[in-house]
Amino acid sequence: MSAKVNDDLLTERRKCEFNVEELTNYLDGGAQATQNRRKLEDKVLSTKGLFDEVPEEYLSHKEKYENAVRKAVVYYKAMKEAEDPNQTEQERANATYRSLLHAAVFKDNSPFSLHLAMFIPAILGQADEEQKKYWMKRASKMEIIGTYAQTELGHGTFIRGLETTATYDPKTEEFVLHSPTLTAYKWWPGSLAHTANYCVVMAHLYINGKSCGIQPFIVQFRDEETHQPLPGIKLGEIGAKLGFNTVNNGFLGFDQHRIPRNRMLMKNAQVLKDGTFKRSPNSKLTYGTMVYVRVVIVNGMANQLARAVTIAVRYSAVRRQSELKPDAGEPQILDYVTQQHKLFIGIASSHAFTLTAKWLTRMYQKVTADLEKGNLDELPELHAIACCLKAVTTTDTSVLVERSRTSCGGHGYMLSSNLPQIYGLVTAACTYEGENTVLMLQTARSLVKALEQAQSGKRLSPTMSYLSEKVSSRLKWDNSIDGIVKGFRRVAYGKVESAMRSMRKYVRSGLGPEDAWNMSSVQLVAASEYTSISEADIRQLQDTYEDLLGKIRPNAVGLVDAFDFRDQILNSTLGAYDGRVYERLMEEALKSPLNAEPVNQSFHKYLKPFMQGKL
């Protein structure tokens, strides 16, 4: 018999003024896509061995990892078996695009995540046709497990500063991989420590003593039978982190480790047998995997934010606290306008990020198709936009997930709420795949160039066109959408122009262009933030805003129900569909090993002798 649903949630669902299923279908891309997603989730989540008897927060660091590997194997097989052979690739992609299925199994991400999220995309984007055929067959069947090893102990942002060398030996037609210093050790790659046995290594290629830039190499570092590290390879785990503690991030050092010539991924640049180097049409094509993952991250943020606000809004409909009016009883905390202010922006932002992710994915697919035909014209714009949207969506999601947590009071601080873990996952994305400040400065680099082109009368790309509109500075704000967008354009234009003026002032004062850039970089980052709509400006339409909060209030639970996250994916005592918050908090608390006995052994060992002055 299913548990009784909380009365307040029942009332909320009766008050909802729109068809929740219709919104779910819209978010999935149609009723069939919703059906496909639900069918996939039903199949996979009915698999035995996917869930933890003991909550993983009570396991040791080592036990957490071993348990995650156990589940990863079960989960991956279940996903493969659940694939509907009659579905097209696109239908399969749609079914997983919005699904956070893996989150039902891994609260802190999977030890296989880098294999799927970067190792395979790196092969697809950097290998030539022959290499792709061979390695994709092995990687897609999980005969090998890979990761993406670019970051080093000493360098993450500055790729051109990476110290790992790959020196070509024409006599043996091999590359010699070497970590000349401790700071050259690869440091951070997920799965690297104990899970993967191959990786795509980004290393500085040298031929006859000449630098040929950073190139990608596919490198085996563990024996496929014994899993022992190969000769010349030093491996280990980098230690406990804020989150990602089951991703097995590791370090790897090379000591004159030799690999055959065909292990350099040669789609863009090639090394012939005699050591002739054939340059890539654009050295930045080597950075292509990162552009792809930045695009994926935007969609990931939309889904994770939706999960966090679902938990917080449902909890806010169940939790009653304080007194809004004398003798009127304790109201739902969702009736406090401050609570609505904290949470409803999260619902809206998740939808905005979903639409943005769809738009960016289409742009990525078009530019990638152009690249295949040798047309690189739109690569710089894709890079600038992907940098900006990855940085803005991860920053905003981190802020809004943390706000969802704190809006749930003490219970939001419980690991059983799952909000701290969701925060740990999303805040990592502010750093990985390009630290956000660095990426915003990449976008600023494009904005400054675009404004200079606009000022010399050149046509701009669609996403930069606002820099060529001579928007009057006397523009009057109005509350229409068109008025708001015009206002944003005016502010965005002004921010770029001000940063440019600042740089020119520094150059006139005698600074070189690099120092002028650095001195203006705070303004440059701010200018990039306005390339995509940010929340700060909406505050200036405060009266419209508070009116909107009131309109959303009766539909808030319906709006989060429409995200259609099943309880196993929310994995939260506060966010379950039935709203039985207090019973779930107690059920989870009783799973703590400390509750197995009324008196812990520390009393007899330490407390009692201490309190009796015998210690």
Ligand X SMILES: Cc1cc2nc3c(=O)[nH]c(=O)nc-3n(C[C@H](O)[C@H](O)[C@H](O)COP(=O)(O)OP(=O)(O)OC[C@H]3O[C@@H](n4cnc5c(N)ncnc54)[C@H](O)[C@@H]3O)c2cc1C
Q: Which residues are catalytic?
A: 433
* Paired strand residues for 236: 251
Q: How far is the CB of 158 from ligand X (least distance, A)?
A: 6
| 275 labelled ligand-binding | no
Closest-by-Cβ residue to ligand X is 156
| 190 labelled ligand-binding | yes
Q: Which residue has the tokens 């190792």?
A: 119
Whether 238 and 187 have beta carbons less than 8 Å apart is answered as yes
Q: Does 150 bind ligand X (CB under 6 A)?
A: yes
How far is Cα 214 from Cα 232, in angstroms, rounded to an integer? 21
In this structure, the chain runs to a length of: 615
- Considering only 186-194, 356-364, 509-517, 563-571, which stretch makes contact with ligand X by CB under 6 A? 186-194
Q: Does 119 bind ligand X (CB under 6 A)?
A: no
406 binds, among ligand X, ligand LYQTPAFP, none (CB under 5 to 8 A by kind): none
- Considering only 147-155, 225-233, 322-330, 593-601, which stretch makes contact with ligand X by CB under 6 A? 147-155
Nearer to ligand X (CB atom), residue 313 or residue 525: 525
Nearer to ligand X (CB atom), residue 289 or residue 555: 289
- Considering only 145-153, 377-385, 542-550, 568-576, which stretch makes contact with ligand X by CB under 6 A? 145-153
Nearer to ligand X (CB atom), residue 151 or residue 339: 151
- Considering only 129-137, 142-150, 353-361, 470-478, which stretch makes contact with ligand X by CB under 6 A? 142-150
How far is Cα 266 from Cα 128, in angstroms, rounded to an integer? 5
How far is Cα 158 from Cα 335, in angstroms, rounded to an integer? 48
Secondary structure (DSSP) of 66-87: HHHHHHHHHHHHHHHHH--TTS
Q: How far is the CB of 144 from ligand X (least distance, A)?
A: 16
For β-strands 174-178 and 186-187, DSSP reports them as unpaired
Secondary structure (DSSP) of 505-537: HHHHTT--HHHHHHHTHHHHHHHHHTTS--GGG
Nearer to ligand LYQTPAFP (CB atom), residue 20 or residue 430: 430
Binder among 27, 114, 122, 388 for ligand X (CB under 6 A): 114
174-213 burial by CB neighbour count: b if 16+ within 10 A, else e? bbbbbbeeeebbbbbbbbbbbbbbbbbbbbbbbbeeeebe
437 binds, among ligand X, ligand LYQTPAFP, none (CB under 5 to 8 A by kind): ligand X
Whether 92 and 79 have beta carbons less than 8 Å apart is answered as no
In terms of Cβ atoms closer than 10 Å to its own Cβ (0-12, 13-18, 19+), residue 79 is middle
Q: Does 420 bind ligand X (CB under 6 A)?
A: no
How far is Cα 92 from Cα 522, in angstroms, rounded to an integer? 43
Q: Does 376 bind ligand X (CB under 6 A)?
A: no
Binding site for ligand LYQTPAFP (CB under 6 A): 113, 117-118, 148, 150-151, 156-160, 190, 284, 287, 290-291, 293, 296-297, 300, 304, 379-380, 383, 425-426, 429, 432-434, 438, 442, 445
Q: Which residue has the tokens 């219709």?
A: 22
> Hey, which residues between 577 and 596 contact ligand X (CB under 6 A)?
none
Q: How far is the CB of 252 from ligand X (least distance, A)?
A: 10
Q: Which residue has the tokens 């704190």?
A: 406
In the stretch 156-185, what mask flags binding to ligand X with x, by CB under 6 A? xx----------------------------
Task: State how far the alpha carbon of 535 is from the alpha carbons of 3, 424, 521, 525, 545, in Å.
Answer: 39, 22, 21, 16, 11
Q: How far is the CB of 347 from ligand LYQTPAFP (least distance, A)?
A: 18
> Hey, which residues between 261 and 290 contact ligand X (CB under 6 A)?
none
Binder among 119, 135, 148, 185 for ligand X (CB under 6 A): 148
Q: Does 438 bind ligand X (CB under 6 A)?
A: yes
Q: Which stretch of DSSP H or E encloses residue 233?
A: strand 233-237
How far is Cα 289 from Cα 202, in angstroms, rounded to an integer? 11
Q: Does 190 bind ligand X (CB under 6 A)?
A: yes
CA angle 192, 195, 198 (to 5 degrees): 60
Nearer to ligand LYQTPAFP (CB atom), residue 266 or residue 426: 426
For β-strands 198-207 and 146-149, DSSP reports them as parallel
Q: Does 111 bind ligand X (CB under 6 A)?
A: no
List Cβ neighbours of 609 (8 Å cut-off, separation of 6 or more): 615
Binder among 431, 461, 463, 468 for ligand X (CB under 6 A): 431
Nearer to ligand X (CB atom), residue 285 or residue 460: 285
Name the binding residues for FAD. 151, 190
Per CB under 6 A, residues contacting ligand X are: 114, 147-151, 155-157, 188-190, 244, 249, 428, 431-432, 434-435, 437-438, 441
